[in-house]
Amino acid sequence: MLTENKDCAAKDLGGGVTRKVLSYDETMMVCELTFKKGSVGNLHHHPHHQIGYVLSGSFEVTCAGERKILKKGDSYLIKPDEIHGVLALEDSKLLDVFTPMREDFVR
Protein backbone atom coordinates (compact mmCIF):
# COMPACT_ATOMS: atom_id res chain seq x y z
CA MET A 1 0.00 0.00 0.00
CA LEU A 2 1.37 3.40 -1.01
CA THR A 3 -0.30 6.44 0.50
CA GLU A 4 0.21 10.12 -0.27
CA ASN A 5 -0.46 12.44 2.68
CA LYS A 6 -2.43 14.84 0.46
CA ASP A 7 -4.98 12.07 -0.19
CA CYS A 8 -5.72 11.49 3.51
CA ALA A 9 -8.57 13.40 5.14
CA ALA A 10 -7.88 15.17 8.42
CA LYS A 11 -10.47 14.45 11.12
CA ASP A 12 -11.08 17.33 13.53
CA LEU A 13 -10.90 15.86 17.04
CA GLY A 14 -11.75 19.19 18.66
CA GLY A 15 -9.68 21.36 20.94
CA GLY A 16 -7.14 22.20 18.22
CA VAL A 17 -6.24 18.60 17.33
CA THR A 18 -6.62 16.85 13.96
CA ARG A 19 -5.77 13.28 12.97
CA LYS A 20 -4.98 11.76 9.57
CA VAL A 21 -4.99 7.98 9.24
CA LEU A 22 -2.23 7.45 6.69
CA SER A 23 -1.79 3.71 6.09
CA TYR A 24 -3.05 0.59 7.83
CA ASP A 25 -4.01 -3.04 7.71
CA GLU A 26 -5.35 -5.26 10.49
CA THR A 27 -1.89 -5.57 12.09
CA MET A 28 -0.63 -1.97 12.09
CA MET A 29 -1.65 1.66 11.60
CA VAL A 30 0.22 4.95 11.19
CA CYS A 31 -1.40 8.34 11.92
CA GLU A 32 -0.33 11.97 11.75
CA LEU A 33 -1.68 14.22 14.50
CA THR A 34 -1.54 18.02 14.36
CA PHE A 35 -1.84 20.06 17.56
CA LYS A 36 -2.29 23.80 18.01
CA LYS A 37 -0.28 25.34 20.86
CA GLY A 38 -1.95 24.49 24.18
CA SER A 39 -3.94 21.57 22.75
CA VAL A 40 -4.20 18.47 24.90
CA GLY A 41 -4.33 14.76 24.19
CA ASN A 42 -6.12 13.83 27.43
CA LEU A 43 -4.78 11.04 29.62
CA HIS A 44 -6.17 7.75 28.33
CA HIS A 45 -5.27 4.11 27.70
CA HIS A 46 -5.99 1.46 25.08
CA PRO A 47 -5.03 -2.18 24.45
CA HIS A 48 -2.64 -1.32 21.60
CA HIS A 49 1.13 -0.93 21.51
CA GLN A 50 1.95 2.62 20.37
CA ILE A 51 5.12 4.35 19.24
CA GLY A 52 5.09 8.11 18.76
CA TYR A 53 7.60 10.33 16.96
CA VAL A 54 7.64 14.13 17.23
CA LEU A 55 7.66 15.46 13.66
CA SER A 56 7.71 19.13 14.68
CA GLY A 57 7.25 21.34 17.71
CA SER A 58 7.36 20.11 21.29
CA PHE A 59 5.14 18.32 23.77
CA GLU A 60 4.94 17.63 27.46
CA VAL A 61 4.34 13.88 27.36
CA THR A 62 3.01 11.88 30.30
CA CYS A 63 3.45 8.11 30.22
CA ALA A 64 2.95 5.71 33.12
CA GLY A 65 3.34 8.55 35.63
CA GLU A 66 6.53 9.94 34.07
CA ARG A 67 6.43 13.43 32.53
CA LYS A 68 9.01 14.74 30.05
CA ILE A 69 9.40 17.43 27.38
CA LEU A 70 9.89 15.86 23.94
CA LYS A 71 10.95 17.86 20.87
CA LYS A 72 11.34 17.27 17.13
CA GLY A 73 13.12 13.96 16.58
CA ASP A 74 12.21 12.49 19.98
CA SER A 75 9.99 9.44 20.44
CA TYR A 76 8.06 7.39 22.99
CA LEU A 77 6.77 3.86 23.46
CA ILE A 78 3.40 3.16 25.06
CA LYS A 79 2.67 -0.37 26.28
CA PRO A 80 -0.88 -1.77 26.16
CA ASP A 81 -3.18 -0.15 28.74
CA GLU A 82 -0.49 2.30 29.91
CA ILE A 83 -2.00 5.68 30.83
CA HIS A 84 -0.60 8.45 28.63
CA GLY A 85 -1.32 11.90 27.22
CA VAL A 86 0.29 15.01 25.72
CA LEU A 87 0.22 18.80 25.94
CA ALA A 88 1.40 20.76 22.88
CA LEU A 89 3.84 23.46 23.99
CA GLU A 90 3.70 25.06 20.52
CA ASP A 91 2.07 24.22 17.17
CA SER A 92 3.27 20.63 16.75
CA LYS A 93 2.90 17.32 14.90
CA LEU A 94 3.20 13.69 15.95
CA LEU A 95 3.46 10.47 13.98
CA ASP A 96 1.80 7.62 15.91
CA VAL A 97 2.10 3.93 15.02
CA PHE A 98 -0.29 1.40 16.56
CA THR A 99 -0.33 -2.37 16.60
CA PRO A 100 -2.77 -3.85 16.05
CA MET A 101 -4.62 -1.20 14.04
CA ARG A 102 -7.07 1.13 15.81
CA GLU A 103 -10.43 -0.02 14.44
CA ASP A 104 -12.09 2.89 16.27
CA PHE A 105 -10.17 5.33 14.02
CA VAL A 106 -11.75 4.02 10.79
CA ARG A 107 -15.38 3.56 11.81
| CATH code of the domain containing 56 | 2.60.120.10
Residue 7 lies in a domain: no
Residue 3 near residue 22 (C-beta atoms within 8 A)? yes
d(CA 29, CA 102): 7
Model-level pTM?
0.93
Provide the residue range defining the domain that includes 90: 13-105
Q: Mind listing the pLDDT tens digit for each residue in 89-104?
A: 999 999 999 999 999 9
For position 1, what pLDDT does the model report? 84
pLDDT confidence bin for 43, thresholds 50/70/90? very high
Residue 67 lies in a domain: yes
Residue 74 near residue 57 (C-beta atoms within 8 A)? no
d(CA 107, CA 89): 30
Residue 5 lies in a domain: no
Residue 42 near residue 104 (C-beta atoms within 8 A)? no
Total domain count, the chain: 1
Residue 2 lies in a domain: no
Residue 3 lies in a domain: no
Residue 1 lies in a domain: no
Q: Mind listing the pLDDT tens digit for each residue in 56-81?
A: 999 999 999 999 999 999 999 999 99
pLDDT at 107 over 90: no
